[in-house]
Amino acid sequence: MTIEIRDVVSKKDLRTFIYLPEKIHAGQAQWTHPIYMDEWTYFNPKKNRAFAICDTVFYLAWKDGKPVGRIMGIINRRFNEHRKENIARFACLETYEDPEVFRALVRKVEDWARAKEMTRIIGPYGFSDQDPEGWIIEGFEHHATIATYYNFEWMPKWIEAEGYAKDADYFVYKLPVPKELPDFYKKIYERIRHRGQFELVEFKSRKEIKPVVRPVLALMNDCYVNSNIYGYHPLDEQEMDDLAKRYLPVLDPRFVKVVKKGPEFVAFIVGMPDMTAGIRKARGRLFPFGLFYILRAAKKTKQLDLMLGGVRDDCQGLGLDVFMGTRMIASAQEAGYEFMDTHHELEVNVKVRAEMEKMGGVIYKKFRVFTKNL
């Protein structure tokens, strides 16, 4: 039973690459399908700007004439230039529980990275930190959310057996939506509001959000670059537009909060109703009924997923996180949500984690990005 690793060279190969995970994870209740319409865009160099700044490779593993695994290799040239490093990434690694297939795929990408003169490899990590990052290492009993991996428990152990070690951990908090805001939140919110230095902007429709997408993503660039966010590289205007197209159709205006200081945007937070139950029922297909399932799940969910947020450097420490958080909690209360999923918080981001814990948040998932010197 020879294992053969082949390049993805045709549209048929790419179809196999995209749909293989749903076969591998068949019957696994906590795994969530991707939105396949998005997948076809994501893996298309003509539609995904990230390919223009990255070297990439796609591999499929075949055994007994059947596809049994996949992996993607990425070298983000802009990130490497920005950080002055020679780092490759592996992503989209999926296999059945077969250590030989797993090992063959990992080593194939390592060989590709060495041939490109990379000195280190990390993963799982996509083009940027807006893509899924890290394998889950704790909290397997909880379902996956949008833009996160859900992997088998044996995968972290197997990658460590290949000489990989921890590079960065992300914590995910389960944050209860309080029935009554804490007094310190109320006091900070009222103090900032009465001073009038900052304006909190809320939205009623996606049409209202559209004009602010570019300024907010430009602000995200400033916040994340200045904070040296792990794995982040500055987005250019085309990448901002691509990111907006990817998420704007599913944004709920109630859960987008922006702070302005005069004409400038200085802080933002974006949440999204958990719609994974609908995505699973739709099996990742929007048509003919998938979109209906997804929208219905978004209306019925009791969970709000916090996706993105940031405060400009010169406005940090002024309570703007509480200023936005107060209104986000109020919106969650009005929607009848019971808790929030905080998405990925870096283990080293102790300030944000302290705020989560002050509000009663409990770590219920942990993700890990691994690294290996080549």
CA atoms within 13 A on the CB side of 5: 19
Between CA 326 and CA 332 the distance in angstroms is 10
Burial of 89 (0-12, 13-18, 19+ CB in 10 A): buried
Integer Cα distance of 260 and 106 in angstroms: 46
Domains along the chain with CATH numbers: 3-171 (3.40.630.30), 178-337 (3.40.630.30)
Environment class of residue 301 by beta-carbon count within 10 Å: exposed (0-12), middle (13-18) or buried (19+)?
A: buried
Q: Tens of pLDDT along 145-174?
A: 988 999 999 999 999 999 999 999 999 999
pTM: 0.94
Please give the pLDDT value at position 72: 98
What's the confidence (pLDDT) of residue 122? Answer: 98
Rounded mean pLDDT of the chain? 93
The token pair that represents 250 in the structure block: 């599913």
Based on its alpha-carbon atoms, the radius of gyration of the chain, rounded to whole angstroms, reads: 21
pLDDT given for residue 194 in this prediction: 92
Q: What is the pLDDT of residue 94?
A: 98
Element (H, E) at 59: strand 54-63
Whole-number pLDDT of residue 63: 96
* pLDDT in single tens digits along all 374 residues of the chain: 689 999 999 999 999 999 999 999 998 999 999 999 999 999 999 999 899 999 999 999 999 999 999 999 999 999 999 889 999 999 999 999 999 999 999 999 999 999 999 999 999 999 988 899 999 999 999 999 988 999 999 999 999 999 999 999 999 999 999 988 888 888 999 999 999 999 999 999 988 988 888 888 889 988 887 677 788 777 888 877 877 777 777 789 999 999 999 999 999 999 999 999 999 999 999 999 999 999 999 999 999 999 989 999 999 999 999 999 999 999 999 999 999 999 999 999 898 898 889 889 999 999 999 999 99
Q: What are the start-end ranges of the E strands in 161-288?
A: 165-176, 199-201, 256-261, 264-273
| Nearest-angstrom CA–CA distance, 257 and 84 | 35
User: Tokens representing 228?
Assistant: 């040296």
Predicted confidence at residue 213, as pLDDT, reads: 85
Instruction: Establish how many alpha carbons lie within 13 A of residue 319's alpha carbon, considering only the half-sphere containing its beta carbon.
Output: 16
d(CA 255, CA 177): 14
For 159, the token pair is 């990658």
Give the pLDDT confidence score for residue 249 in this predicted structure.
77
